[in-house]
DNA sequence: ATGGCAGTTATCATTATTTGATATTGCCGA
DNA sequence: TCGGCAATATCAAATAATGATAACTGCCAT
C-alpha cells in the first residue's frame, strides 16, 4: 500500500508475509475473511496470496472448513534458523547437560529488538504450553533474561531501553516501574545474573545469566524457571546460581 | 520458473519463498550471488526479494560481509505452528513426563508427505546437532516413526508408498530394499510398534509407536532414540516398549 | 426439504509493479 | 595502488498484480 518510496521493495512479497504473520497463538486457523480482517488487505489480494502460499506448501488447508493453517514448512524454517545461528550449536549441549543434571526447565533466550525470544527450551515439568515451546517473545524489560543481557550493553543503551522499550503486565505483580527496572539492570551488571519472581507467571522464579562473547556483550542468556512454591529466591540462588553461571559461561568461553 | 497457468498464483510471492528455502543446514548465510546460484532467479529479482525480506524482518544481514541469514522471525513462525497443531498441545506434556521418567531422548514425529518431520524433541543426551532440533525431515520409509505411522493406513497406500517414496542411505546399514521395508511395515501393523537399528545413525536404536486418533490412523509417532552400545534391541523392547506405547496411546486417547 | 446468505471462487479491464538489462558504486585482495 | 568481483542503483518495457464485481457453494435456520 503506502509503505515506502523504495524501488526495491516488492509489495506482493510483503503482502504474502502479512498472511503468514496473521497466525499466532490465538489465531491458529483462519478463513479468507478472517485473513482479510486481520491483515487489512483486499479480499482479492488475500485470495491470491493464500492460494499461492498453499500451492507452495506454506499453508495447509482443511477442505471441509476451508480454513488455512500453518504447515510443517514453518518448522523447517526453524530448522534452518537453528543451523544458521552459531550460538545455538554451542548452547544446546550445555543446556542438555544442565537439564539432565538438575532436572529443571532450562532455556536459551536471545535479544530480538526490544523483546527476548526463547530459542531453545528443555522443559522438565508440565507447565503452561506457552512456557514450553520455542519462539515465544516477551518484552525484554519484563524478563530476567532481557535484563541480564541488557546489562552487558552501554549505559546509554540501557537508559534508552528503560525509557522507551515496551512493558507488558504479565501478572498483577509485574513490575511496571521503569526506574525500578533500571535498578534491576544495574544490579544485574554487577552481580552477573538477574532473578525475578511472579513477572510473567505467578509463583514462577526466573534466574538468568548472560552468554558473553569475547567482546563482552551478551549473545544470549541461560535461564531457568523454578517453582516459587517449592523454593524461595534465596534457595534458588544457593542451589542453582553457580550451575547457571557455569553453563552460561561455558557456551562461548 | 513458469509454473502454472494459474491466474491466482502470485509469482512474486513464490520467488520470495524460494529465497527463504535457499537456507538449510549447509547454507546458513548467503550472499546475493549465492542466492542467485541457489534459486536460479535473476540477479535483480534476488536483490529485490532479499531486500524486501530484510525490510520485513525475515532476513538478518551482516553489514560487514553482506551475507543474509535467517532471522528470529523464523522461530516465531514455529511458535505459531505449535499453537495451530492440536496434536502438539496434547503430546507435549506426555513427552515431558516420559523424558523425566526415563531420562532418554524422546521425540514426536509427524507425517509430512513422504517424509517424517520431528515436531517435538526432548533431548536427554548429547548427540548430533541434527538429532536434537525440531524441523528435521527424514524419508518416512527409512524411519521407525514413518513405518509405524504408515502401518495405520490402508494396504493400497502402504503398497504405493513402498513402491514410490524416496529412500536415503543414512548409514552403510540403512535398509534400501523396498520389499524388506514393506515387511517391516506389515509387522508394525500387527505389533503396534516399530524398531530399527543403525538406519540414520550408527549404533542408534529407534523405537516408535503410533499416536492414533479416533478413526485409527496415525496423527504422529512417539519415538525414542536409544544407544545401541549400551542396549540391544531385545533390551530396548523390554525396558521401553510398554512406556512408549502408553505414552503414545495417552496422547489422543 | 428449501431458501437465503455469508463466504468462497472465478473473471477481467486497468494500470501499477515487477522485470531484467545495464550502469554505477563500493569493497577486498594482490 | 590498482584490478576485478560483487553489491547497489536506475529505468523503459510489459508483464503480472490489482480490486471491483459476478458467479458459485455449502451451510444454517426455518
- Asked if strand D comes closer than 7 Å to A45 Cβ, the answer is yes
The alpha carbon of B216 is separated from its chain's Cα centroid by a whole number of angstroms, namely 22
**CA B253 to C1' D4, whole Å:** 66
Contacts of A99 in chain B (CB under 8 A): 124
Could you read off the pLDDT tens digit of each residue along chain A, which spans 253 residues? Answer: 334 458 899 999 999 999 999 999 999 999 999 999 999 999 999 999 999 999 999 999 998 899 999 999 999 999 999 999 999 999 999 999 999 999 999 999 999 999 999 999 999 998 999 999 999 999 999 999 999 999 999 999 999 999 999 999 999 999 999 999 999 999 999 999 999 999 999 999 999 999 999 889 999 999 999 999 999 999 999 999 999 999 999 999 8
Q: Do the chains contact at B92 and A129, CB–CB below 8 Å?
A: yes
Of A25, A55, A126, Cβ closest to residue B96: A126
pLDDT, tens digit, 9 for 90 and up, residues B13-33 = 999 999 999 999 999 999 999
Nucleotides of D under 7 A from a protein CB: 6-11, 16-21, 27
Contact A34, A23 (CB under 8 A): no
* DSSP string for residues in chain B: ------TT--HHHHHHHHHHHT-BTTB-SB-HHHHHHHH---HHHHHHHHHHHHHTTSEEE-TTT--EEE-THHHHHHHHHHHH-HHHHHHHHHHHHHHHHH-SEEEEEEEETTEEEEEEEE--S---GGGTSTT-EEEGGGSHHHHHHHTTS-HHHHHHHHHHS-----STT----HHHHHHHHHHHHHHS-EEEESSSSTTEEEEEEEEE-TTSSEEEEEEEEEETTT--HHHHHHHHHHHHHHHHHHHH-
Q: CA A200 to CA A145: how far, in whole Å?
A: 12
CA atoms of B71 and B73, how far apart (whole Å): 5
pLDDT tens digits, one per residue of B64-110: 999 999 999 999 999 999 999 999 999 999 999 999 999 999 999 99
Does any strand D atom come closer than 7 Å to the Cβ of B101?
no
- What is the 8-class DSSP label of residue A247? H
Contacts of A114 (CB under 8 A, 6+ apart): A139, A140, A141, A161, A164, A165, A166
Is A190's CB less than 7 Å from nucleic acid strand D?
A: no
Answer for the pair B98, B120: CB distance below 8 angstroms, yes or no. Answer: no
Are A52 and B16 a contacting pair at CB < 8 A? no
Please tell me which of the candidates A8, A25, A129 has its beta carbon nearest to residue B51. A8
In chain B, which residues have their Cβ closer than 8 Å to the Cβ of A78?
74-75, 77-78, 133-135
- Under the banding of pLDDT at 50, 70 and 90, the label for residue B7 is confident
H/E stretch holding A35: helix A32-39
**Which of B9, B51, B83 is nearest residue A28 as measured by Cβ atoms?**
B83
> Would the Cβ of A43 be found within 7 angstroms of any atom in strand D?
yes
DSSP state of A27: B
Q: Can you give the pTM of this predicted structure?
A: 0.96
H/E segment holding residue A222: strand A218-227
Tell me what the pLDDT averaged over chain A comes to: 95
Amino acid at each position: 500500500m503506502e509503505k515506502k518510496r523504495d524501488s526495491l521493495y516488492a509489495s506482493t512479497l510483503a503482502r504474502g508475509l502479512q498472511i503468514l504473520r496473521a497466525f499466532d497463538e490465538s489465531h491458529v486457523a483462519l478463513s479468507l475473511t478472517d485473513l482479510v480482517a486481520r491483515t487489512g488487505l483486499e479480499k482479492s489480494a488475500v485470495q491470491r496470496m493464500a492460494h499461492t502460499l498453499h500451492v507452495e506448501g506454506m499453508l495447509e488447508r482443511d477442505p471441509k472448513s476451508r480454513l488455512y493453517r500453518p504447515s510443517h514448512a514453518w518448522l523447517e524454517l526453524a530448522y534452518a534458523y537453528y543451523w544458521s545461528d552459531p550460538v545455538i550449536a554451542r548452547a544446546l549441549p550445555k543446556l542438555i547437560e544442565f537439564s539432565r543434571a538438575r532436572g529443571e526447565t532450562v532455556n536459551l533466550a536471545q535479544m530480538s529488538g526490544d523483546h527476548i525470544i526463547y530459542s531453545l527450551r528443555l522443559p522438565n515439568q508440565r507447565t503452561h504450553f506457552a512456557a514450553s515451546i520455542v519462539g515465544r517473545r516477551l518484552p525484554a524489560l519484563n524478563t530476567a533474561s532481557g535484563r541480564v543481557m541488557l546489562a552487558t550493553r552501554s549505559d546509554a543503551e540501557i537508559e534508552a531501553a528503560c525509557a522507551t522499550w515496551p512493558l507488558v503486565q504479565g501478572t498483577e505483580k509485574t513490575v511496571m516501574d521503569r526506574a525500578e527496572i533500571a535498578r534491576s539492570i544495574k544490579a544485574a551488571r554487577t552481580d552477573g545474573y538477574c532473578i525475578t519472581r511472579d513477572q510473567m507467571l505467578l509463583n514462577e522464579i526466573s534466574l538468568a545469566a548472560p552468554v558473553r562473547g569475547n567482546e563482552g556483550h551478551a549473545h544470549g542468556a541461560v535461564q531457568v524457571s523454578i517453582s516459587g512454591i517449592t523454593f524461595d529466591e534465596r534457595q534458588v540462588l544457593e542451589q542453582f546460581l553457580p550451575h547457571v553461571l557455569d553453563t552460561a559461561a561455558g557456551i562461548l568461553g
